[in-house]
A and B are shown apart, each in its own frame.
Chain A
Amino acid sequence: SQTIHQWPATLVQPVGSPLSLECTVEGTSNPNLYWYRQAAGRGLQLLFYSVGIGQISSEVPQNLSASRPQDRQFILSSKKLLLSDSGFYLCAWTNYNEQFFGPGTRLTVL
């Protein structure tokens, strides 16, 4: 069966510091992968998606970036965090119709 992992589970970072969140998927090959963010009082917003190694599509302009160095690894990064980057970050993979989410990372930027 497929499983999706995210780490760290929680993170507290100062404004201006860098960020690296990691997501890995097991039990499937060549998955489409996604990064979402849930900010306070808002729904889930799609940030990036990837259909393969090195292929990244960005949905919203921001100071975040994503990379896919391996088939089942998806990384969310920032060079300098802003206060507005605080939120709950979710990684997901799809079987074409449904998307399945990881446990999420709670990021607090102070």
Chain B
Amino acid sequence: DQQVKQNSPSLSVQEGRISILNCDYTNSMFDYFLWYKKYPAEGPTFLISISSIKDKNEDGRFTVFLNKSAKHLSLHIVPSQPGDSAVYFCAASDHSGGGADGLTFGKGTHLIIQP
């Protein structure tokens, strides 16, 4: 049972336009959500996160939106740049156990920025 789902394996966006990556979750106990960016043969790097008490968090070109009622979050990248081409993972955590548990990841979306 996949608790974090990224239904788009890949996404192609023109340079300068907006990239929107989507993520859905099923576990209502998740209270913290994160986005990671990963290049081939490297570890994921943390991008941005959002707590369940918020519905939006912005950091430069990256904005994450959270819709708790729909159990849906999205990552917006504006404007998209060639260096943004990578696999993006959505992740979630449940702090009810004290925060030691690991993250639950989606399968990732491969974002391709076209010139």
Contact flags B101-115 to A (C-beta < 8 A → 1, else 0): 111111110000000
* Candidates A42, A43, A101; contact of B45 at CB < 8 Å: A101
Q: Which residues of A contact B93 (CB under 8 A)?
A: 97
Give the total number of A-B pairs whose CB atoms are below 8 A apart: 61
Closest 3 CB pairs of A and B: A101-B43, A46-B102, A43-B107
Q: Which residues of A contact B45 (CB under 8 A)?
A: 101
Q: Which residues of A contact B44 (CB under 8 A)?
A: 44, 90, 101
Q: State whether B89 touches A104 (Cβ < 8 A).
A: no
Would you call A13 an interface residue if the criterion is a C-beta within 8 Å of the partner chain's C-beta atoms? no
Would you call A100 an interface residue if the criterion is a C-beta within 8 Å of the partner chain's C-beta atoms? yes
Nearest opposing residue in chain B for A97, CB measure:
B32
Within 8 A of B (CB), among A30-46: 32, 34, 36, 41-46
Q: State whether B100 touches A104 (Cβ < 8 A).
A: no
Would you call A102 an interface residue if the criterion is a C-beta within 8 Å of the partner chain's C-beta atoms? yes
Q: Which residues of A contact B43 (CB under 8 A)?
A: 6, 90, 92, 101-104
Q: State whether A99 touches B105 (Cβ < 8 A).
A: no
CB<8 Å pairs between A and B, sample of 26: A6-B43, A43-B4, A43-B105, A44-B89, A44-B91, A44-B105, A46-B102, A59-B102, A90-B44, A92-B43, A94-B99, A97-B49, A97-B93, A98-B34, A98-B49, A99-B46, A99-B91, A99-B102, A99-B103, A101-B36, A101-B43, A102-B43, A103-B42, A103-B43, A104-B41, A104-B42
